[in-house]
């Protein structure tokens, strides 16, 4: 099987000691220089070092950060008679299925699996023989038929952009790590923490991987500070307040002060009534 192509944001684990990196230690890739055959990595102590492509192929193993990556690496042949594939038991088993019988997050189509293998460099796309040929435009009759069968709302759903994942307060309360692609705020880190530079800064999650004792390591990035990682705990990983959260927080003080509203019933019920009212407008400062 071909090796995974090293890319920024990936997590790898050393199989033997390499320099200051001990065997079994996780590292995150910060940059890849294909021209000079150099890869920049951070270890768990946030020490930066450079290695070549040969070293990472010989001395490290790729760590899947989600189900789809695990499937792409561990399944190299698709069962052509089946429509879906799913993972279970912590990404260490898989099976093919013909119908949707499990939560959607657990199963993937052949195209999703194949695209991820292309992305990781495990498969190569076949070169088209005639690249100048333009696909024919659908006829007016076909377009009208699609409108009748699917409806305009259905067509709009097919082309709507993918929503950016959001790390919510409810997820934090349930100790669920922020999903890849979401943002969070770094809060309450120790003075000697290796991620102290990120304190009170909003960062984007670029990687998640399981660690011993059911722990999760988060890899995150900031456009100017760089890449950081740490074991997920809710005391330092905080959701970013939405405008609605800020409004509710501000209204709590208003309700209890009694300056605008009489404190009747629960605070939450009063706030919901205020948010549902169209009798006035509230403007929030960007700060």
- The number of distinct structural domains making up the chain is 4
> To the nearest whole percent, how much of the chain has pLDDT over 70?
68
Residue 157 in any domain: the answer is no
Per-residue model confidence (pLDDT) at position 212? 73
Are 213 and 268 found together in one domain? Answer: no
**Among 11-25, 48-62, 76-90, 131-145, whose mean pLDDT is lowest?**
131-145
If pLDDT is split at 50, 70 and 90, which confidence band does 13 have? very high
Q: Per residue in 217-246, pLDDT tens?
A: 899 999 888 888 888 888 899 998 877 777
Are 229 and 175 found together in one domain? Answer: yes
Residue 230 in any domain: the answer is yes
If pLDDT is split at 50, 70 and 90, which confidence band does 278 have? low
Residue 176 in any domain: the answer is yes
Which of 21-25, 126-130, 258-262 has the highest mean predicted lDDT (pLDDT)?
A: 21-25
Q: Which of 101, 119, 137 is the last residue of a domain?
A: 119
Residue 42 in any domain: the answer is yes
Residue 200 in any domain: the answer is yes
The better pLDDT of the pair 284, 77 is held by 77
Contacts of 49 (CB under 8 A, 6+ apart): 19, 20, 21, 40, 41, 43
> What is the torsion angle, in degrees rounded to the nearest 10, for the CA atoms of residue 134, residue 136, residue 138 and residue 139?
140
Average pLDDT over the chain, rounded to whole? 78
Per-residue model confidence (pLDDT) at position 263? 43
Q: Per residue in 130-148, pLDDT tens?
A: 455 566 666 666 666 666 6
**Among 80-84, 144-148, 193-197, 279-283, whose mean pLDDT is lowest?**
279-283
- Cβ distance 274 to 249 under 8 Å? no
Residue 129 in any domain: the answer is no
The better pLDDT of the pair 118, 146 is held by 118
Per-residue model confidence (pLDDT) at position 185? 93
Q: Which of 97, 119, 141 is the last residue of a domain?
A: 119
What range defines the domain where residue 71 resides? 67-119
Are 202 and 257 found together in one domain? Answer: no
Are 75 and 52 found together in one domain? Answer: no
Are 222 and 179 found together in one domain? Answer: yes
Are 207 and 248 found together in one domain? Answer: no
Residue 109 in any domain: the answer is yes
If pLDDT is split at 50, 70 and 90, which confidence band does 183 have? very high
Domain CATH code at residue 190: 2.30.30
Q: Does position 156 have pLDDT exceeding 60, yes or no?
A: no
If pLDDT is split at 50, 70 and 90, which confidence band does 203 have? very high
Residue from 99, 98, 97 nearest 87 by CA: 97
Per-residue model confidence (pLDDT) at position 93? 73
Residue 49 in any domain: the answer is yes
Are 51 and 72 found together in one domain? Answer: no
């Amino acid at each position: 099987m071909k090796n995974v192509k090293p890319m920024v944001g990936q997590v790898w684990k050393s199989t033997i000691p390499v320099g200051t990196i001990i065997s079994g230690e996780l590292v995150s890739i910060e940059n890849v220089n294909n021209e000079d055959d150099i890869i920049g990595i951070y270890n768990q102590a946030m020490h930066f070092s450079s290695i070549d492509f040969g070293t990472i192929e010989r001395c490290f193993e790729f760590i899947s950060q989600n189900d789809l990556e695990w499937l792409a690496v561990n399944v190299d042949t698709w069962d052509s008679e089946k429509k879906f594939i799913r993972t279970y038991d912590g990404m260490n088993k898989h099976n093919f299925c013909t119908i949707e019988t499990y939560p959607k997050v657990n199963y993937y189509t052949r195209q999703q699996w194949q695209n991820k293998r292309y992305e990781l460099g495990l498969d190569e796309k076949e070169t088209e023989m005639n690249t100048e040929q333009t696909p024919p435009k659908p006829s007016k009759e076909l377009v009208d038929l699609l409108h009748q069968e699917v409806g305009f709302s259905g067509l709009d759903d097919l082309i709507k952009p993918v929503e950016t994942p959001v790390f919510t307060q409810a997820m934090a309360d349930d100790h669920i790590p922020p999903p890849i692609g979401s943002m969070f705020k770094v809060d309450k880190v120790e003075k000697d923490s290796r991620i102290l530079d990120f304190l009170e800064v909003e960062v984007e999650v670029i990687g998640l991987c399981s660690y011993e004792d059911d722990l999760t390591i988060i890899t995150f990035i900031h456009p100017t500070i760089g890449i950081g990682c740490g074991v997920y705990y809710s005391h330092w990983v905080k959701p970013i307040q939405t405008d609605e959260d800020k409004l509710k927080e501000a209204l709590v003080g208003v309700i209890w002060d009694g300056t605008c509203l009489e404190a009747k019933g629960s605070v939450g019920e009063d706030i919901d009534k205020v948010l549902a009212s169209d009798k006035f407008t509230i403007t929030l400062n960007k700060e």
